[in-house]
Amino acid sequence: MFHSIDVASGEMLYRRDVQKWDEFSTALFQLRQHQQQFAALNATTRTALLQKFAERLADRQECLAEMVCEEVGRCLHECQAELKKSVELIRYYVRLAPELLAHKTIATQASLSQVRFEPLGVVLAVMPWNYPVWQVLRFAIPALCAGNACVVKPAPSVARVTAALFDIIGGDLPVIPAWLSHEDTLKAIEATDAMAFTGSTHTGRRLAAHAGMHLKKTVLELGGSNAFIVMPDADLPQAAKDACYSRFRDAGQSCNAAKRIIVVEAVADQFIPLFLAECAKLKSCHPKDADTTLAPLHREDLRDTVHGQVRDAIEHGADCLMGGEMPAGKGWFYPATVLDRVNPACRVYHEEVFGPVAMILRANNEAHAVELANDSPFGLGAAIYSGNTEQAWQYAEHIQAGSVFINRHTSSDLRLPFGGVKASGYGRELSEFGLYEFVNVKTYWQK
């Protein structure tokens, strides 16, 4: 069952049954016909259709932001930012794609030799609940620019906003939703030409293994446990402010958030009170309240998981400096929680914590801070705060992650590739590199 619940009130907002496989197969057959017609258009014509979609989405962005706020539970201003960035994403690729997809002539001994970027066909996307508009479009827009068709299997708990998004997309673009069961999602991998997945490492491994068995191209954006390194010469007040914002925005339910605050011991006693003071400013209330800065979690079971990780850390020697108690009352709120002296015996040391919990790791020196950053199964992003940017760049080269930010918290930028290494997945989204993930880079050679 696909359904949407108002996270604050518990009210059922929307529900629909799982799609039968025969019904999906018919829709997929029709989509393939549409994809062939769409791919035959030049890139400028395709992006013109996307530009019209951007205009429709801009007109409806406030309504969709309200839906995301109700279904996901994030603060309304955070949901509005998601919609604004989604519109910017479409307009970015409308400007960029025609030039980057143009045929590239390369000088060889041939009379004419070229590289062309041709679509793979139909790409399946299995999407998460935390950014139900942004995540879908981050995958779909570059894939469509290249002439692919897209099938989107949404998370079951954001069905209403997904249906509303597809109403806005309309019939001009070859994109359809797939209201499939988990079992039929595996069949859909076999029936399509490539797959994009955003979600947990556990599920990503299962889907990627099935896709690999059928030789389907995949791009995986999985979990993250980003390091936020505070060097002794850092601007400590700014680092504390940024660490708090990065960790607790979106109720901590972001793969790219700062989750491990690694502080060199020499400044730990100065930094930690500054960080706690910033965390104490957070306000939990209804997500539509303009003053709310820490929203509820998306589901009760997610909150239970986070609380279990916190209790395990305390039992294994971590100090809870604030939070850590399950609150009473309506809504799946969890307090801003800070764990100090986290050690490898704690689950949170190795696991992703998808909620408002920051862990502090104390490093002996700068080199040890980099070692701690790499001592994780994940490798999505990292941040280094230091007054010596030249040295920070040198440390950044040794960090195993898809991105390193210096004197800024990790985030995604339309113009830069986004993705990770190790258990955070592979492949890239956004920028020109994301545009080339779902294309056949095809060589032409004429004697």
Please give the positions annotated as active site. Answer: 221, 255
Tokens of 124: 């399946």
CA–CA gap between residue 138 and residue 158 (Å, rounded)? 17
Question: What is the secondary structure of 179-216 as a DSSP string?
Answer: ---HHHHHHHHHHSSEEEEES-HHHHHHHHHHHHHTT-
Provide φ and ψ at 382, rounded to 5°: -155, 160
CA atoms within 13 A on the CB side of 433: 13
Orientation angle between helical segments 201-213 and 182-191, nearest 10 degrees: 40
Distance CA 131, CA 359 (A): 24
What is the spatial distance between Cα 433 and Cα 418, in angstroms, rounded to a whole number?
9
Report the C-alpha gap between 102 and 99 in whole angstroms.
Answer: 5
- 8 Å CB contact between 76 and 286: no
If you write DSSP's letter for every residue of 115-178 in order, what string do you get?
EEEEE-SEEEEE--SSSTTHHHHHHHHHHHHTT-EEEEE--GGGHHHHHHHHHHH-SSSSEEE-
Residue 314 corresponds to which tokens in the numbers above?
Answer: 């305390």
Judged on CB neighbours under 10 Å (0-12, 13-18, 19+), 367 is: exposed
CA distances from 96 to 137, 200, 342 (A): 16, 31, 45
> For residue 289, with 0-12 CB atoms within 10 Å meaning exposed, 13-18 middle and 19 or more buried, which class applies?
middle
Strand 194-198 relative to strand 122-126, pairing: parallel
The pair of structure tokens assigned to 279 is 């965390």
How far apart (Å, rounded) are the C-alpha atoms in residues 195 and 357? 32
